[in-house]
Amino acid sequence: AIAGALAGVEVEPVLTAHPTEAKRATVLEQHRALYLHLVAGENQMWTPAERDLIREDVKADLERLWRTGDIFLERPGVADELRNVVHYLLRVFPEAIPRVDARLRSGWQAAGLDPMLLDHGRLPRLSFGTWVGGDRDGHPFVTADVTRRTLGELHGNAVELIDGSLQTLTVGLSLSGRLVDVPSALSDWLSASAEAAGGAGRQAIERNPEESFRQCVNLMRARLPGGPASNPYRTASELVADLTLLHDWLVEVGADRLAHHDLEPAIRLAETFGFHLARLDIRQNSRFHDLAVGQLLAAARVPDGELFGEWDEASRLELLATELQSPRPLARPDAELGDEAKAVLACYRVVRAHIDERGPEGLGSLIVSMTRSVSDLLAVYLLAKEAGLATIERGELRCLLPVVPLFETIDDLEAGPGILRTFLQHPVTGRTLEALTGDGTSPSQQVMIGYSDSNKDGGILASLWALYRAQEALAGVGEAEGVAIRFFHGRGGTISRGAGPTHRFLRALPPGSMSGSLRLTEQGETISQKYANRITAEHHLELLLAGAAGSAIGTPAARAIPHHLEPVMDDLAAASRTAYAGLLQRDRFVEFFRLATPVDVIERSSIGSRPARRTGRATLADLRAIPWVFAWSQSRYFLSGWFGLGSALEGLRSADGATFQDLLDHVFDWAPLHYIISNAATAIANSDAEVMEMYAGLVGENGLRSEFLPSILEERQRTLETLEEIYGGRLSDRRPNIARTLELRAPALRPLHERQIDLIGQWRADPDDDSLLDELLVTVNAIAGGLGSTG
């Protein structure tokens, strides 16, 4: 039963280029070189002379780092970000996965389980996704041409990776026909495949005479996309089928060890990376789609069509219902369209051309950020129909890619189940999911949930609990509609954006919400933190696989029993959100935020290719979650990681002491509650009241400082006191590892904060002084490095 459950486990990290990696690629490479030399120095095999040479290497690494510029002088382009992602997909994960598989098998045998049950066909499935070159939400530089080049780059690198694997196989499979009885099926396969491949096929079997297994791999290499064969593989699954035949022929001649040692890793590699390396998602904001649809309606002379985004929901649904049943396009081919319509249609046509040429395997989903109504999702079907990405067969429309809602704010998370139910009941969705499943299994619908904007919207407690409740309800909708819901977790690299210990995060998910399938973003600096070194890469992949496997093996009966404290958490979340909103909605709060934090400096940095604001308006709603969190952490408030929790807990203690005590009794045995409390405790431990007051000094003596800082400090003290009551002592005593880390960092961080504050004052007085800005950006990098996080 366990082996069968493992075969159903599927984990897909999605690598994004969110602008939270403050270190240049050059600096990251130098950190990697330093790490390797330090590790080498720990080996006891070296002679004293060799150890001295390694020590000299370390000194050279340190001097190189000291003399290397820290900051981005210009924003990296999408091509730069893609190169970074491809590095991990080509150089890190292909090496880490075989070792993860080997440790799983080793643990399996150590547990006394039958090794024959865990063959290569029952290993948990790993795949990868990316947003680089596909995420165009507020990113004007991701054009249709960028997406086309991205898909081509991923495809080319994937074929190169597979070819290298096959080349290694060719070297190893030197079995001689004089020493083994070549299976007749292999001989027949060679003859037929060589004939079908044309001249390249004949050349492939002319090499390595009497080495049929090598000839077999030679033919596979010739058939790779772009290779010389006249019948190239259309999909990686065709290659996997041939590799599986070769595996079975090795077993047939008694070479079981070679089948396991050589073929199974090659099969695993082809299954994992295919001819696409990573699946590219296409993401766009619902508002952008509204503008595109409006422009199409205007071109079709629909009355008030250009105002489609302002129509009420009933009118939008009525028009969409009509147009989705119509075979004709809205706009003539020669129609003059607005920028948004041209951008969406051009992107979708690139995607359709890629599907026609290489199949859909390299593409993920059409993700709609800020999904707030079912019409936001159905509008994508209309745009896809217009671009040929949705097809009509026998009068019935279906989309070639799944459309995925992204629920981000707390209000949208609460509305999500109703939106999803209506969307799943729509006939186009039903036909699309049925066609995409295609193998007779139950259809599956991906749903993305956002951790960053929900936190910015309502604070840590309200956000995490809204996400928990939403997943419960969304999974229930799927069950009622006969559709498996696969959640896509849009987590960032900080606690305020959904980060936290991976094992605790996975345990804290609602029962039944994962069922062995896990998709989540790996953003910005978390990619290098988790995957830059092989050992840490293996560790984090194992954590993800173990968490997904645990959900697959879990007891179904436990999933139906709600925890008795869930209603209490509903009330706490509401109280926390009220306290949080009471701060953010006060007059002049945005002015205080912009003066008391270095957010204006962060907005001038060149960390990522994407702008810090969606539209450029200086409002809180328009500011992205990343600079919001980044600014609070740089100034040591860490406000978005704890504010509101103290008020909620204190309110419960005052109103109902018995329930408060019941909550305390279950903090460490109910995973969702423990995750929320421990994350908030970590965030507030990183805050520093003295440093907060120093940054608040930048506000000046205009009454603004005295209006907001005391409220923030009072809530911080309130939260500390309630957390210490929960933990049964001071946080520094109860969580000594965090306390020790902060103690070690403090002597270096304090002068950095002082210098940054001084420079901010000078720069705001003379904003045209680029030398001041450059020095400020160095302090931003230094503080981020000291804290171990950005946004």
Sole residue written with tokens 């981005």? 72
Q: Which stretches of 339-387 are assigned E, i.e. beta strand? A: 363-369
Sole residue written with tokens 């809602």? 405
439 burial (CB, 10 Å; 0-12 / 13-18 / 19+) is exposed
Cβ proximity of 19 and 609 under 8 Å? yes
CA atoms within 13 A on the CB side of 691: 24
- In what helix (H) or strand (E) does residue 430 lie, and over which residues does it extend? helix 427-437
Cβ proximity of 689 and 713 under 8 Å? yes
C-alpha to C-alpha distances, 753 to 23, 100, 547, 626, 665, nearest whole angstrom: 19, 41, 39, 20, 39
Nearest partner of 324 among 399, 419, 252, judged by Cα: 399
**CA distance linking residue 788 with residue 790, whole number of Å:** 7
Cβ proximity of 259 and 247 under 8 Å? yes
**CA distance linking residue 117 with residue 461, whole number of Å:** 43
Q: What letter would DSSP give residue 442?
A: P
Q: Which residues pair with 517 in a beta bridge?
A: 10
Pair of tokens at residue 285: 């904001």
The torsion defined by the Cα of 265, 271, 274 and 277, in degrees rounded to 10, comes to -80
**CA distance linking residue 54 with residue 34, whole number of Å:** 10
Pair of tokens at residue 497: 């954006």
**CA distance linking residue 241 with residue 220, whole number of Å:** 11
**CA distance linking residue 275 with residue 359, whole number of Å:** 10
C-alpha to C-alpha distances, 264 to 161, 238, 545, nearest whole angstrom: 16, 16, 19
**CA distance linking residue 132 with residue 304, whole number of Å:** 36
**CA distance linking residue 639 with residue 480, whole number of Å:** 39
Q: Which long-range contacts (CB under 8 A, 24 or more apart) does 421-430 make?
A: 421/477, 421/480, 421/481, 422/374, 423/374, 423/377, 423/378, 424/477, 424/478, 424/481, 424/483, 425/481, 426/374, 426/378, 427/396, 428/324, 428/378, 428/381, 428/390, 428/397, 428/398, 428/399, 429/403
Catalytic residue of the set 18, 37, 426, 753:
18
Cβ proximity of 701 and 659 under 8 Å? no
First-to-last alpha carbon distance for the chain, in angstroms, is 42
**CA distance linking residue 411 with residue 628, whole number of Å:** 20
SS (H, E, C) 674-725: HHHHHHHHHHHHHCCHHHHHHHHHHHCCCCHHHHHHHHHHHHHHHHHHHHHH
Catalytic residue of the set 247, 426, 456, 530:
456
Q: What letter would DSSP give residue 766?
A: S
Cβ proximity of 159 and 362 under 8 Å? no
Region for residue 18 given its phi and psi (left: phi exceeds 0; alpha: psi -120 to 50; beta: otherwise): beta
Helix or strand or coil: residue 317? Answer: helix
Nearest partner of 50 among 58, 41, 59, judged by Cα: 41
Task: Note if 18 is an active site residue.
Answer: yes
The letter for the amino acid at 530 is K
Which residues does 662 contact at the CB level (< 8 Å), separation at least 6? 565, 568
- Give catalytic residue positions: 18, 456
